[in-house]
Structure 1
Amino acid sequence: MEQWKVIKKPSVTFEVSNEGRIKVFNRKEGKFNLIHAFSYTGGHEGNRYLATHGYYVHRLVAEAFIGPIDGLEVNHKNGRKKYNYVSNLEIVTPKYNHQHSWKTGLRDKQKLSKKEIDRREIRTEMRRLNKQWIVYDLNFNIISRHNSQEDAAKSIGVSRQTANNSFRLGRPITKQYYICKPVQVEEFKKQVSGGN
């Protein structure tokens, strides 16, 4: 069911619908009039934002139905800038908005192939995994994953310094564990085996 909320801006008052429709208050007539003609601006060629009276429609809808935007951005979940239903909008950080547009291919001039999107998702996941600290047993089987070296060290009851010294010297921690990042494990295995 369509709902309407009033949004007051410095020079104009809008009535905004959760379905992305906009009315503007006409002072002479003393009523809100539905807007049928929008300008297309920003975004990318062939996928521009709808705007009226100097305001983006998606931002008006998000502000009215989701909340304050203050320093954040409004992301179109399906990537289509003309679909300004509140269910298609989310308030996100600029970084997330950029990542979403990159992942979905919206930053490129042409839509990315499924293969390229999958490749980018795998690359992003690998970066995330390679930032982790892994606790290994003596045979380099994974015991646990952690977001910091300190957390990994605590999980086996030692200090971060102990884990760091173990890594630097290529020696096991308490003769049972190794801690390192996945990207370092091959180099660390060589160090532990004496460079062979």
Structure 2
Amino acid sequence: MEKWKQFTEEKKKQYFVSTQGRVKSIDKATGEESLRKPSSNKSGRKMITVNETGKRYYVYRLVAEAFIPNPENKPTVNHIRGLDAGDGVDNLEWMTYAEQDEHARQTGLKTPGNTSAIVLDSNGIVIASHDTMTEAFTSYDGRNVYYNKDTQIIGNVVVMKQSYYDKLSEDERFNICFECFQRMMEFAYVVNGQLAGDGGKASEMVNCSRSTVIRHTENKWDVNIKGHTVSRLKNRIGVFNDDTKQEDKIYEKSCHY
């Protein structure tokens, strides 16, 4: 029998995942149920997007967290019979990275020439793993920033070769992720409360030139550009002198290229 559990709730809808790997939403006002069609990333993993926030979830992760006990707190979810067998509970199991790596070798999903990857957040916490670095690079959106030969920043996550990750201490991992986070802040913008990966994305959101966005937001808490509130994320968290921490005059004039 298919079972359902709620995994998030937004202003207008509640979202549920089932033991069979299906996702549905329920309208709070009408009670109407709608099955949600997932998309797939380039590696074939299915994702669901919550329309109200734009947040994306891996379906297999939702199923595992909702229905599969994890008493040993293992960090990664394995598809027992491969991705093609689906995201139902009968095809998922919690694993360590070493177990996942060994399973991939035994099933032929990974060859000795492949380099597995670990994905971390800005606190150095592992949030995902991938069979190859290429798979990891194509699974996330955002600006790609080089850190070192074993580590790159993609959007707001850090992608690291697993062999490199395994050699680092917990403190070393945290320090690297902290430095990566600082680099993320160098490029990130906020437009009307929404994160924009870089000046180019911010300029698209306000229909203005990139140079105008960069120039007007320098050392400012936030500015109004053509009716949009724009700021550099590093400025909002105080990475500049206090005497420049003030709102700029309103820029409502047309932007020139």
**Higher RCO (Cα < 8 Å, 6 or more apart):** 1
TM-score normalised by the chain length of structure 2: 0.35
Q: Counting helix residues as a fraction of each chain, which structure ranks higher?
A: 1
Specify the structure having the higher radius of gyration (Cα).
Answer: 1
Normalization by structure 1: what TM-score?
0.45
